[in-house]
Amino acid sequence: MSDQAARKPRPGDEEELVIERFDESGRGVAHHKQCIWSVLRARPGSTVRVKALRRRRHEVEAVALSTLATDPRAVAPSCAHFGACGGCTLQDLAYAQQLAGKHALVVASFQRHAALDEGVDVLPVLGATHTERYRNKMEFTFGNRRWIAPHEPQGAADGFALGMHAAGLWQKVVAIESCAIQTDVGNRVLAAARAEALAQNLEPWCVKRHEGLLRHMVVRVSGTTGEVLVNLVTSRAEPERIGPYVAAVIARVPEIGTFVQTVNSQAATVSYGEAELVHHGPGWIREVLGGVEFRVSAQSFFQTNSAQAARLFELVAREAAPTGAERIWDLYSGTGTISLILARHAREVVGFELVPAAVADARSNAERNGLTNVRFVEGDVVETTRRETEFPEVVVVDPPRAGLHPKLVEPLARVPARRMVYVSCKHSSAARDLAALRPYGWRAVRVQPVDLFPHTPHVECVITLERAP
Ligand SMILES: C[S@@+](CC[C@H](N)C(=O)[O-])C[C@H]1O[C@@H](n2cnc3c(N)ncnc32)[C@H](O)[C@@H]1O
């Protein structure tokens, strides 16, 4: 082997790679020169010319310079903004290939942590029936530096944009004409908000100088009732300018049932703030899942794909298998979606959640649905579960991406329940947690991935655990 061929890649090296798969962040992965290459904007199945950016031991981060051969299975992306927009990174992969890639990622995580017994396989990913217009919530950004596409003429207007951050360029905003994963009415709201902001001369936010009026717009369209909520985030209240703007947007899209304004004068680009003003409607929309009605307000957490969330929760209920006689614990209960759906089939459900606003949402949803056999305990799960005096027969956990708190593993493993259902939004964390639960006798008997986010590398999993005899 020549010296050139044997030496480890260095930043600046250019190579030709055949991309094998995508990773958890949607980058293309290839093995080459005894290293694992992770390549931004590279599709599985394609041959690409890449430039190495940095290397840490055997891992090289690279960027694709050009595509030399595309995968014959590649499909035309359904969105005109694909590539420029930072979302939907997998849209040019056939959906079946996306699902196969997600399955491979889950399998790899469980293998890495030796988390499954022999004979327990990861089931095929439960794919979405609708891979477009599936999101019930989209957050758009106003900016004063519009991203200019390479084909646009010189001197094109670039001082105003409403859309998504450009991929890898946080200061620039891609003006989104139509987003393929949000609803038609959501796209009409987007067009109306842009047209009226320009007509009424309302200045967009500048992330560099921290000035301007319009910052973000969150559009929520209930996937189950079709009700529409718009949350406009501004830097100041300015009712004399925002009032007419809101009225004009509603006149263009009369389906808007609630229009709220959130004031955020801080530099941080977030869509919550110091004050929330309801300009129109009740301030919330309704979603109905598992026979339970949920009120979703501007700041409430709710799964963003209602149709797949319904299937996910149905699966959780099936795996928890309540007969009506059980006490169930729902750890990391959020706004109580799982607790309330299970409460209809169990003797008692106790939800444990840290965030007070989520607990308040959960309690009011319980009350309105007449569910009296459910209670929510506010605080850190490690502390609050320790204070309970009666153990459950079934435990459901739905932790954040980091997975179970390390201090929770042992007390949770010692709970004398017969069944545990682990709902995971990050399979690598779940696989690590499962491996940590194994010494206490807990074994995964089923792993069912569910796709809630077509065209992205994310995948949820419902893992059923039983205590080994
Ligand atoms: C993936 S979400 C669960 C969503 C929930 N199943 C629902 O449908 O609304 C994770 C939740 O864990 C909560 N959380 C994070 N750390 C926590 C802790 N230490 N104790 C209790 N809850 C926590 C978060 O506030 C969040 O609501």
Q: Which CATH number does the domain housing residue 188 bear? A: 2.40.50.1070
| CA 399 to ligand 1 center in whole angstroms | 6
Query: Quick count: other Cβ atoms within 10 Å of Cβ 68?
Result: 12
User: Do 397 and 374 fall within a single domain?
Assistant: yes
Is residue 143 one of the residues assigned to a domain? yes
| CA 380 to ligand 1 center in whole angstroms | 10
| Mean pLDDT value across the chain | 94
Query: Quick count: other Cβ atoms within 10 Å of Cβ 469?
Result: 4
Where does ligand 1 bind, in terms of residues with CB under 6 Å?
A: 301, 332-335, 337-338, 352-355, 358, 380-381, 398-400, 405, 425
Pocket probe for ligand 1: among 332, 333, 350, the residue whose CB has the most ligand atoms within 8 Å is 332
> What pLDDT band is residue 271 in, cutting at 50, 70 and 90?
low
**Atom from ligand 1 closest to the CA of residue 405:** 19
User: Do 356 and 226 fall within a single domain?
Assistant: no
| CA 353 to ligand 1 center in whole angstroms | 6
Is residue 413 one of the residues assigned to a domain? yes
User: Do 339 and 389 fall within a single domain?
Assistant: yes
**Residue after which a domain boundary falls, among 289, 321, 336:** 289
From the centroid of its chain, how far is CA 432? 21
> What pLDDT band is residue 74 in, cutting at 50, 70 and 90?
confident
From the centroid of its chain, how far is CA 424? 12
User: Do 257 and 374 fall within a single domain?
Assistant: no
User: In the numeric block, which tokens belong to residue 334?
Assistant: 């959020």
Is residue 235 one of the residues assigned to a domain? yes
> What pLDDT band is residue 270 in, cutting at 50, 70 and 90?
low
Nearest protein CA to atom 11 of ligand 1, as residue = 332
Pocket probe for ligand 1: among 354, 387, 388, 397, the residue whose CB has the most ligand atoms within 8 Å is 354
The residues annotated with a catalytic role in the active site are: 425
User: Do 336 and 220 fall within a single domain?
Assistant: no
| CA 265 to ligand 1 center in whole angstroms | 27
Is residue 299 one of the residues assigned to a domain? no
Q: CA-CA distance, 47 to 381, in Å (whole number)?
A: 48
Q: Is the pLDDT of residue 463 over 90?
A: yes
**Atom from ligand 1 closest to the CA of residue 401:** 1
User: Do 122 and 237 fall within a single domain?
Assistant: no
User: Do 336 and 243 fall within a single domain?
Assistant: no
Is residue 74 one of the residues assigned to a domain? no
| CA 106 to ligand 1 center in whole angstroms | 22
User: Do 120 and 159 fall within a single domain?
Assistant: no
User: Do 44 and 164 fall within a single domain?
Assistant: no
**Atom from ligand 1 closest to the CA of residue 399:** 10
The 10s digit of each residue's pLDDT in 112-158 is 999 999 999 999 999 999 999 999 999 999 999 999 988 888 888 88
What pLDDT, on the 0 to 100 scale, is given for residue 6? Answer: 65
The answer to whether 227 and 256 have CB atoms below 8 angstroms apart is: no
* Domain that includes residue 53, residue range: 3-69
User: Do 246 and 337 fall within a single domain?
Assistant: no
The 10s digit of each residue's pLDDT in 173-230 is 999 999 999 999 999 999 999 999 999 999 999 999 999 999 999 999 999 999 999 9
Is residue 81 one of the residues assigned to a domain? no
Nearest protein CA to atom 8 of ligand 1, as residue = 337
Nearest protein CA to atom 17 of ligand 1, as residue = 354
User: Do 235 and 150 fall within a single domain?
Assistant: yes
Q: Is the pLDDT of residue 3 over 80?
A: no
Give the residue-averaged pLDDT of 430-456: 97
**Atom from ligand 1 closest to the CA of residue 362:** 9
Pocket probe for ligand 1: among 272, 353, 453, the residue whose CB has the most ligand atoms within 8 Å is 353
How far CA 407 is from CA of 381, 413, 437, in Å, comes to: 10, 11, 12
Number of domains in the chain: 3
**Residue after which a domain boundary falls, among 238, 255, 289:** 289
**Atom from ligand 1 closest to the CA of residue 337:** 8
Give every CB contact of residue 279 below 8 A, 6+ residues apart in sequence: 242, 243, 246, 259, 260, 261
CATH number at residue 11: 2.40.50.140
Is residue 151 one of the residues assigned to a domain? yes
CATH number at residue 346: 3.40.50.150
User: Do 254 and 313 fall within a single domain?
Assistant: no
